[in-house]
Each structure stands twice: as structure tokens, then as C-alpha cells.
Amino acid sequence: MAKINLLPWREERRKERQNEFYAVIALVIAAAAAIVLAVNTSIDGSISDQKTRNAYITKESRILDSKISEIKDLNETREKLLERMEVIQSLQGDRPIIVRVFDEAARSVPEDLFLTEFGIKGTKVTIKGRAKSNNRVAALMRNFDASDWFADPNLIKVQSVQEGSNEFEVTMTRIRPSSDDEGEG
């Protein structure tokens, strides 16, 4: 009988399988390294893109903050201008009133009574003058009381300065009559 030695064949096959195993392990390691490298590159790219977006948002936020500040300044300027316009409109609207007040005061002054001072502060009117008699001052007070433009006349003082001459001071409140009365007179 012939002797056949099967040992080298099995050893060769074992070496061959071992080499295939190492080759597969090397291939898996290479594939894993490639996957890790690709994922790492992708993540680095995403981080870089996000940093770029964050920088853009920060830059635009600063621009918007400056615009908001500018808008606030413009709103403050607008409010100041509106206040000025209101004051101007108020002054223009009150311009004919002062003429009417002086006209009404002139109409209310009786004969033999002379005004020396006429002052207006807000709605308070102060009148100083001279009269030949107390009756003339009383007539002045009645005229102011009957006026549509004055209310609450108050005699502050009457003082005799010479024979037949008295100094007086009267205060009252200036009012604005209803629009129906303004068209008259």
C-alpha cells in the first residue's frame, strides 16, 4: 500500500485560509478607516459651514442692531418734531384768540377809566389802571363778568392816589367761548 501524506495539503490550505483571513481583516480595517475619514471630513465640513452661517448671522445681527438704533434715533427725532409741530399749531390756533381778548378788553373798558398794565400768563389775565371813580371800576367788573371771553373777575385792590383818581388791579380767567360765539361780533 502506498503511503499518502495529507498533512502538507492541510497545512497549505490552513495557510491559504489564514492569508485570506488577514486579507479580509486588512480590507475591513481599510474600509473602516475610509468610513471614519469620510465621516470626519463630513463633520468638519458641517462644522465649518455652521461657523460660516454663525458668522453671517452675527454680522447681520450687528447691522440690524445699528439699524434699530438708527430707527430709535429717528423715532425720537420724529417725536420731537411732532411736539414742535403741535406747539406751532397751538400758537397759530391761539393767535386770533389774543386779538379777540384785547378787543373784548377794549370793549369792556368804560369811559373815564384808563388801563396802565395788561398782562396775560396762560389763562390768567391781570389788569391795572386808573379810574375817576369806584363806580367806573365796578362797571369794568360787570363788563368783564358779562363777557364771553373772561370769567371770575376779582378786584385785588382799589387805592385812592389823588383827589378824584383811583388806582385798581383786577385779575380774571381767560376762557374760550363756544364756537358759536366766536363767529359773532
Report residues of the chain scoring pLDDT below 50. Answer: 180-185
111: domain range? 89-182
pLDDT of residue 5: 64
Number of domains observed in the structure of the chain: 1
Residue 23 lies in a domain: no
Would residue 2 count as lying in a domain? no
Query: 137 exposed, middle or buried (CB, 10 Å; 0-12, 13-18, 19+)?
Result: buried
Q: Is residue 112 part of a domain?
A: yes
- Residue 12 in any domain: the answer is no
Single-letter amino acid code for the residue at 124? K
What is residue 179's predicted lDDT score, i.e. its pLDDT?
57
Residue count (the chain): 185
CATH number at residue 126: 3.30.1360.100
Q: Are 108 and 142 in contact, with CB atoms under 8 Å apart? A: no
1 is a domain residue = no
Q: Give a yes or no: residue 32 inside a domain.
A: no
DSSP the chain: ------HHHHHHHHHHHHHHHHHHHHHHHHHHHHHHHHHHHHHHHHHHHHHHHHHHHHHHHHHHHHHHHHHHHHHHHHHHHHHHHHHHHHHHHHHHHHHHHHHHHHHHPPTTEEEEEEEEETTEEEEEEEESSHHHHHHHHHHHHH-SSEEEEEEEEEEEEETTEEEEEEEEEE----HHHHT--
Residue 142, in any domain of the structure: yes
Q: Is residue 84 part of a domain?
A: no
What order of strands is seen across the sheet that includes strand 124-131? 113-121, 124-131, 165-174, 150-162
Q: What is the pTM of this model?
A: 0.48
* Pairing state between β 150-162 and 124-131: unpaired
